[in-house]
Structure 1
Amino acid sequence: MSNAINEIDNTDLVFVFGYNPADSHPIVANHVINAKRNGAKIIVCDPRKIETARIADMHIALKNGSNIALLNAMGHVIIEENLYDKAFVASRTEGFEEYSKIVEGYTPESVEEITGVSAQEIRQAARMYASAKSAAILWGMGVTQFYQGVETVRSLTSLAMLTGNLGKPSAGVNPVRGQNNVQGACDMGALPDTYPGYQYVKFPENREKFAKAWGVESLPAHTGYRISELPHRAAHGEVRAAYIMGEDPLQTDAELSAVRKAFEDLELVIVQDIFMTKTASAADVILPSTSWGEHEGVFSAADRGFQRFF
């Protein structure tokens, strides 16, 4: 998240996209309610009438799979009606001309059938978002665990930059994570292409720095594999073993049959967990683990605030 969770209280507009805070993050939901009490407008964009939609000023019930079309149409309206923050765009962004050309063809009328949302609603939502003094975008797993996830996040972020809603209080782009301490795991480098602190593997100076810090001669120049690549890599012998800790892909992965096949192709599967999960049941080796109450550490919240436990 670019802003602290408690800043939601004082925003002028909350744009909730593909996310049901009342179900998945009650604390965030309470702050959305506080914002509403303080006079904020609420726009909810979700195919379902989720709990947060009940307090919304506007509920956009778009069709599944039409995220990009809707967001690009909103960008089209903001540029067409000169509602964008020209000073911010000129001094703090890049690629405005390219973005303008992309959204030029996404008139609200042209995406009505694709999105199931009327041109009037699209224009209203774009005007509400662009005219707010501060606007916070919230999204969750409904966006990121979807085949359009990356492009949807880019489109949402483009709207924030277009309207100058970055780098100031009670605004920003705010992905709310799906699991406890996901933010902390990413911060410490549990990603295939970065070291701790989001320092990219591809840069030689980063590899040299971490090799020295970790007391090794050198580190590989290539990035690791993403979890979604495991079935394909295992089938071709590029991954021969997996060490899985605190994760249950045989229960939670979107393509369970592909994961089961990957486990058959792997020579060794090691699982470390506090529960006998479905994945642990299929492992060659099971290692014990400790719960949060049995060791020391730090929880990092979605807004990057942290709390030590011991």
Structure 2
Amino acid sequence: MSGHEEERPERPSEVDGTAHLFRALGKIIKVLRKNAGLSQAELAEATHCSEDLVSSVERGVRTPQPDFLVRADPVLKADGVLIASVDDVRAALARARVRHPDWFRDFAKEEAEAVALHYYAPQAVPGILQTPAYAEIVFRYRRPLYDEPTIEKRLADRLARQAIFDTWPAPTMSFVIEESVLRRPLGGRDAFREQLSRLIDVGRMRSVTLQVMPTNREEHPSLDSSFTLLTPKGRREVAYTETYGYARLITDPEEVRMYTERYGIIRAQALTPHESLELIEKMLGEL
């Protein structure tokens, strides 16, 4: 599977402009910053956030949170333009929390509220890490084909899920991605460069551990589909998996333990976080 929420088409009436809104805001912020003569680092310092956040927002990779827009408006001399978008952003994020199809909604809710999340990705970059260009390719060429409104909705849903990276306190997050996934340049050179850069940005976050499972390992504890382990606040860890469109949110303790054991062995066999980032940086340099 390639990110969880893409497996079944929705009606065109369910589509909204959330993805366009976030991407447009990113472009506006970039223009305002340049007009103000500020670097991304200077804007980050003035708005009390990371340079990575500013870069990701401008590229449309991360959602500009309302608090950031309020702080950035006077710094960028936007005269209330960014503040005026706050209500629309809040409404878009609220829609994202409830618009997922029924079969995916339980997982989406648990994911947004979890205190710990661990993702194993054997087939594609996890949806929560995908850039708009990469995600669009995943949706556009999946069979059976989606229509254009459904593609737009899937993109909006996926980008909205990524707001979790801007929450505080941040959940503990880890990712193990198969090296073969990073050797498949979905979307072409430019789109894949952006995707690898995104992985590097996320891998450097304090709350995130990102590892690559090399293809030269002679043993492997899980040659099935992708899965996610998540710990809801105040409750036991659960697991989520999909196989050919059949989604399961697993709560049985013994079955969850099996996935936890698999994930622990996978992490032990994978490259260290430092080695993983070095490998991705090398791949990026070769594109």
Q: Same fold (TM over 0.5)?
A: no
Larger radius of gyration: 1
Q: TM-score, normalised by structure 2?
A: 0.29
By percentage of residues, which structure has more helix? Answer: 2
